[in-house]
């Protein structure tokens, strides 16, 4: 049995607290001071032929002026697996994420069964199939349910180099009728149905410099006008030890969003976090203050542009934080 606990508190200055898109120059001052708290706990129990793994994350942020953006988020993930032999295993997994407060309150639930093949320590293949339910409280028309299937391959080249490849497809059904195109003749429409495809490839290096590189492709095909989207995204993470016990961590991403209908009307653009949907660059400088406490300085910048309507999104966040580990 093993486990880990971590608690982080941060005080940040958020340059775009309401996460607004603007057209042209921003006139109003949307910066605000925000206090954040995050707790993460992980646990693992391993027996002779089965294993149980769990993770909990809970956190909140409170703004000084934009109190309508105060948010509390909790997520739980559980996985149980059983070894059928030296190379083959089966299991079940589930996750729940609940977000309250602000303008993006939702609940996200998923459960699946999987089989995993691992002939040696270098290669692992996992196939899974399950169900997904998403509830968006401000706009129920964005809620959906459906079935999903996916695959994940991990290959360790040697002790420092590793590759991963994953793919996932989900068939989603929504509670309301699909939206007709403006030039379409009036007619009865079917309920909205989407096909969501995700494919990604990644590379990691662990040595004097920790490095991760990744590419992902997301496509949503919908029978509802303005709900289809394609996203190409390149991402990189890096970590390096510096003198004076300092650790520098960096993360960056560049994305290209394409809209087959030349417009995007889905509230998903407001549902995703900045580091999922926007171009971003973040830096963290961490130094241990004691055996159990780390001090960090952080800065992050996010931005994107919607070419069809000339809307811009920009947000910068910087501050200081403390992390405690038992």
Q: Quickly state the pLDDT bin for 219 (edges 50, 70, 90).
A: very high
* Distance in angstroms (rounded) separating the CA atoms of residues 205 and 66: 41
86-106 pLDDT, tens per residue?
A: 999 999 999 999 999 877 889
Per the CB < 8 A criterion, the answer to whether 92 and 114 are in contact is: yes
Q: Was domain 2-324 assigned CATH 3.40.640.10?
A: no
Q: Which range is least confidently modeled, 58-67, 104-113, 159-168, 274-283?
A: 274-283
User: Does residue 202 contact residue 235 with C-beta atoms inside 8 Å?
Assistant: no
pLDDT tops 70 at residue 139: yes
Contacts of 115 (CB under 8 A, 6+ apart): 88, 89, 90, 91, 126, 127, 128
pTM of the model: 0.89
If we measure between CA atoms, which residue out of 98, 96, 132 comes closest to residue 112? 132
Judged against a pLDDT cut of 80, whether residue 25 lies above it is answered with no
Look at strands 88-101 and 106-117 and give their pairing: antiparallel
Can you tell me the distance from the alpha carbon of 11 to that of 28, in angstroms, rounded to the nearest whole number? 23
| pLDDT exceeds cutoff 70 at 307 | no
Q: Under a CB-based contact definition with an 8 Å cutoff, are residues 47 and 53 in contact?
A: no
Q: How far apart are CA 131 and CA 115, in angstroms?
A: 16
> Alpha-carbon distance 45 to 80, whole Å?
10
Tell me which of 181 and 234 has the higher pLDDT: 234
141, two tokens: 């028309």
What is the CB neighbour count within 10 angstroms for residue 170? 20
Query: What Å distances lie between residue 203 and 80, 126, 153, 162, 326, CA to CA?
Result: 27, 18, 12, 6, 32
pLDDT value at position 141? 86
């Amino acid at each position: 049995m093993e486990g880990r606990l971590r608690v982080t508190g941060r005080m940040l200055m958020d340059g775009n607290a309401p996460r607004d898109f603007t057209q042209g120059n921003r006139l109003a001052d949307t910066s605000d001071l925000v206090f954040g708290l995050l707790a993460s706990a992980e646990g693992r129990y391993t027996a002779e032929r089965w294993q149980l793994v769990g993770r909990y994350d809970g956190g909140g942020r409170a703004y000084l002026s934009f109190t309508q953006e105060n948010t509390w988020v909790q997520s739980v993930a559980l996985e149980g697996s059983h070894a059928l032999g030296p190379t083959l295993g089966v299991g079940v997994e589930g996750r729940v994420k609940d977000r309250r407060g602000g303008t993006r309150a939702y609940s996200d639930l998923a459960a699946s069964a999987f089989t995993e093949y691992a002939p040696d320590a270098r290669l692992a293949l996992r196939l899974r199939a399950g169900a997904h339910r998403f509830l968006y409280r401000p706009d129920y028309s964005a809620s959906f349910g459906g079935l999903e299937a996916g695959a994940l391959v991990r290959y360790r080249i040697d002790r420092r180099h590793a590759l991963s490849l994953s793919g996932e497809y989900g068939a989603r059904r929504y509670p309301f009728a699909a939206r007709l195109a403006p030039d379409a003749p009036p007619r009865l429409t079917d309920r909205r149905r989407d096909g969501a495809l995700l494919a990604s490839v990644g590379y990691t290096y662990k040595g004097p410099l920790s490095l991760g590189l990744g590419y992902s492709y997301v496509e949503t095909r919908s029978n509802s006008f303005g709900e289809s989207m394609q996203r190409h995204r390149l991402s990189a993470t890096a970590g390096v030890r510096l003198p004076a016990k300092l650790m520098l961590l960096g993360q960056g991403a560049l994305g290209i969003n394409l809209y087959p209908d030349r417009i995007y009307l889905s509230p998903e653009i407001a549902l995703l976090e900045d580091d999922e949907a926007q171009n971003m660059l973040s830096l963290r400088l961490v130094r241990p203050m004691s055996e159990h406490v780390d001090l960090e300085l952080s800065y992050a910048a996010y931005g994107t542009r919607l070419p069809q309507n000339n809307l811009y999104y920009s947000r910068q966040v910087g501050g200081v934080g403390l992390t405690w580990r038992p």
